[in-house]
Amino acid sequence: MKLYNTLSRKKEQFVPLSPNLATLYTCGPTVYNYAHIGNMRAYVFMDLLRKSLRFNGFKLNSVMNITDVGHLLSDSDDGEDKIAIAAKAQKKTPLEIANYYTGIFFDDCKRLNIETPEHIAKATDYIQEMIDYVVDLVNKGYGYEIDDGIYFDISKFEGYGKLSRIKLDEQQAGSRVDVNSQKRNPYDFALWKKAEPNHIMQWDSPWGKGYPGWHIECSAMSRKILGSMLDIHTGGVDHIPIHHENEIAQSEAKEGKKTVNYWLHGAFMLVDGGKMSKSLGNTYTVSNLIERSYSPLAFRYFCLNAHYRKELNFTFEGLSASQTALDRLYDTVLKHKESKMKTEKSVLAKYKSEFENAIKDDLNIPMALGVLWTMLKEPTSVDIYKLAVSFDNILGLSLSEVEKFAKEKMQIASNTEIPQEILNLANERLLARNSKNWAESDRLRDKIAELGYTIKDTKDSYEIISK
């Protein structure tokens, strides 16, 4: 299996440290707000990677962290803690904020068929490990104390900049990071910050009360859970120049050796061709998509259409096309499932190998999806169905539950005497009900009633009765 390593800027053969076992670390969400669909794309990527590795015979030992402290307003060391800002604004404790948004995040993961990794590590559960890590770096001469915290001296670490390939001397001091006059070098970053008395989250440390820097969290947690070396570290491309560069510096300084063999980064999702931002009102969440009657798996399907290293432009037209394609996929897969016919072994083997080759080529999921569609055009056969379900171990589109999805649609289609407008509203309402969006479901029921129809719920679907 080949994976594109950001460190070498090349596709490399994946050779794990232990045969048949892949160890992974993924930078998880900062739980101060609802995760938006761009964030969720990053975790769909993590999921596709994990499932592809498993498909290729590797056992998984994988960690995702939950950042519930230390991620400041800027990715370098400025501004307030994002969780603390949310806690103040919502008059909640940081723990309440973190627990609330963590819960919603995992609900969204479930809706998108993103499997929970073997270990979920909350930063606040590993403060002692972080302190020990910083003490070690100070003892080894890499960390130094100034008025507001303990900093990493990048001039002591020869390889600084190797991931993002920045040339430090060509960068204007302060162009990326604020120049703190006490820092030895502008790119030095905080390992530990000293807390002002009114800072909400603080812990005792050898340097008085304080809190960890964001970067040290990932180094300390991955070391604690996976050991001093791991196979694959993932994150978004935004992590390359600061967060992961700093993680490499800390970890390699501490261990005196390489600590991660493969660095994989997912490209960003844009919305309507631009950046997602609160001010533009385009930071959609999975719940926002459901409110608009899209199924969460249509969003997953949308993500599968682009290679993980390509930017993906989100539009509602694009999502509608994915919804239509997914519905068609369910119908087609169901026809194969209900077939009594068989397919020749050699034909099945051809599709299987094409699918595997696409996956092995740095997770070429769009190509793998293309193989699935071509295969489904074969005469209907239960063998094709079975192979499609095995492909779905990676794609994660719930193809083994296809009856459930297709039945909902058939119910709608059988109501032929009912006008299309009512059928559309009823379909939207069913999607709202399935995602437990009761307010939207009630609103649509009222709208249908206003137009002269009554909707009666059945176990898996509904009936429409004209008044």
Pick the binder of ligand AMP from 5, 6, 23, 30 (CB under 6 A): 30
Q: Does 48 participate in binding Zn ion (rule CB under 5 A)? A: no
Q: Does 216 participate in binding Zn ion (rule CB under 5 A)? A: no
Which residue in the block uniquely carries the two structure tokens 């002692």? 128
Residue 430, binding choice from ligand AMP, Zn ion, none, Cβ under 5 to 8 Å by partner class: none
Nearer to ligand AMP, 105 or 187 (CB): 105
Residue 218, binding choice from ligand AMP, Zn ion, none, Cβ under 5 to 8 Å by partner class: Zn ion
Residue 268, binding choice from ligand AMP, Zn ion, none, Cβ under 5 to 8 Å by partner class: ligand AMP
| Binding letters toward ligand AMP, positions 231-260, x by CB under 6 A | ----xx-xx---------------------
Interface stretch with Zn ion, choices 107-115, 203-211, 214-222, 390-398 (CB under 5 A): 214-222
Question: Minimum distance from CB of 305 to Zn ion (Å)?
Answer: 27
If binding means CB under 6 A, how many residues of this protein chain bind ligand AMP? Answer: 14
Q: Does 412 participate in binding Zn ion (rule CB under 5 A)? A: no
Question: Minimum distance from CB of 130 to Zn ion (Å)?
Answer: 13
Nearer to ligand AMP, 240 or 348 (CB): 240
Degrees to nearest 5, angle at CA 375 with 412 and 115: 70
Q: Can you tell me the distance from the alpha carbon of 333 to that of 324, in angstroms, rounded to the nearest whole number?
A: 14
Question: Minimum distance from CB of 41 to ligand AMP (Å)?
Answer: 5
Nearer to ligand AMP, 122 or 254 (CB): 122
Q: Does 122 participate in binding ligand AMP (rule CB under 6 A)? A: no
Pick the binder of ligand AMP from 24, 27, 72, 177 (CB under 6 A): 27
Q: Does 215 participate in binding ligand AMP (rule CB under 6 A)? A: no
Question: Minimum distance from CB of 35 to ligand AMP (Å)?
Answer: 7
Q: Does 49 participate in binding Zn ion (rule CB under 5 A)? A: no
Question: What are the residues facing 59 on neighbouring strands?
Answer: 21
Interface stretch with ligand AMP, choices 22-30, 251-259, 323-331, 432-440 (CB under 6 A): 22-30
Q: Does 269 participate in binding ligand AMP (rule CB under 6 A)? A: yes
Q: Does 27 participate in binding Zn ion (rule CB under 5 A)? A: yes
Q: Does 268 participate in binding ligand AMP (rule CB under 6 A)? A: yes
Q: Does 332 participate in binding ligand AMP (rule CB under 6 A)? A: no
Query: Among residues 456, 393, 447, 450, which one has the least CA distance to residue 424?
Result: 447
Q: Can you tell me the distance from the alpha carbon of 153 to that of 184, in angstroms, rounded to the nearest whole number?
A: 7
Residues that bind ligand AMP (CB under 6 A): 27, 29-30, 38-39, 41-42, 235-236, 238-239, 268-269, 276
Residues that bind Zn ion (CB under 5 A): 27, 218
